[in-house]
């Protein structure tokens, strides 16, 4: 079934491997900077997707929009109807530990969430939302000691202030807050596919250090390098 309700690409126009930022502008910039012969293959509702090659291998880049519901829609259609098998979310997050700095890279080894994405699939059970073991192992191999690895919170609320929740999560080793990893991990689990979230710390929830909106679009080199290396292993 292609095109799908939210993606206008034809069958075979996506590579099996995909990088997925949230922002359509970041997707376009990544495709231009990273891919050879990048071709726009979908642009429904301004959510752009591109396919090209890197090092002779096919690779796609597509935006997810913001939030667990949005990434769940796109990831489901990509896995189920377009033959995409591995998606790495490459996005931004808010750091929690005080020793985590703006610009640092986080690999999400699990995704906590207050969203129903962890509870709706199996009644009475809160699923453990985690990445593909193969992709996580590959990311750790490729990164050495140059990243932080641990759980993140995938929240549905960007502006809700909950200092007690953040403090409690920090005490349990949670590294950052973002909005999509849980939705992606749950979808990959349901579709029998692979997923991983590699994130750049764009702001800090305690120190209030933060990138500008322009820096959020541009400062992704370390994160992208790790994502590409992960997919090559």
Of residues 17, 104, 167, 203, which has the active-site annotation? 203
Residue 203 bears catalytic tag: yes
DSSP track, 120-131: SSSTT-------
Query: Of 188, 89, 196, 76, whose CA–CA distance to 134 is shortest?
Result: 196
Contacts with 60 (C-beta within 8 Å, 6 or more apart), sequence order: 14, 15, 17, 18, 19, 41, 49, 50, 51, 52, 84
Tokens at residue 59, please? Answer: 């690779």
Dist CA 178 CA 6 (whole Å): 23
The residues annotated as belonging to the active site are 203
């Amino acid at each position: 079934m292609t095109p799908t309700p939210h993606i206008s690409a034809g069958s075979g126009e996506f590579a099996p491997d995909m990088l997925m930022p949230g922002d359509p502008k970041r997707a376009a910039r990544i495709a231009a900077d990273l891919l050879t012969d990048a071709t726009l293959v979908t642009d429904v509702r301004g959510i752009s997707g591109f396919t090209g090659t890197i090092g002779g291998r096919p690779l796609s880049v597509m935006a997810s929009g913001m939030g667990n519901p949005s990434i769940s829609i796109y990831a489901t259609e990509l896995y189920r109807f377009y033959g995409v098998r591995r998606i790495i979310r490459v996005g931004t997050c808010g750091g929690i530990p005080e020793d985590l700095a703006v610009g640092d890279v986080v690999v999400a080894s699990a995704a906590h969430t207050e969203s129903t994405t962890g509870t709706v699939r199996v009644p009475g059970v809160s699923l453990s939302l985690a990445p593909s073991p193969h992709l996580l192992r590959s990311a750790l191999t490729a990164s050495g000691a140059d990243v932080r690895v641990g759980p993140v919170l995938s929240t549905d609320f960007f502006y809700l202030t909950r200092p007690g929740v953040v403090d409690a999560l920090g005490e349990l080793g949670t590294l950052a807050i973002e909005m999509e990893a849980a939705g992606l991990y749950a979808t990959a689990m349901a579709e029998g596919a692979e997923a991983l979230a590699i994130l750049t710390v764009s702001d800090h929830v305690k120190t209030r250090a933060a990138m500008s909106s322009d820096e959020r679009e541009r400062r992704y080199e370390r994160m992208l390098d790790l994502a590409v290396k992960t997919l090559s292993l």
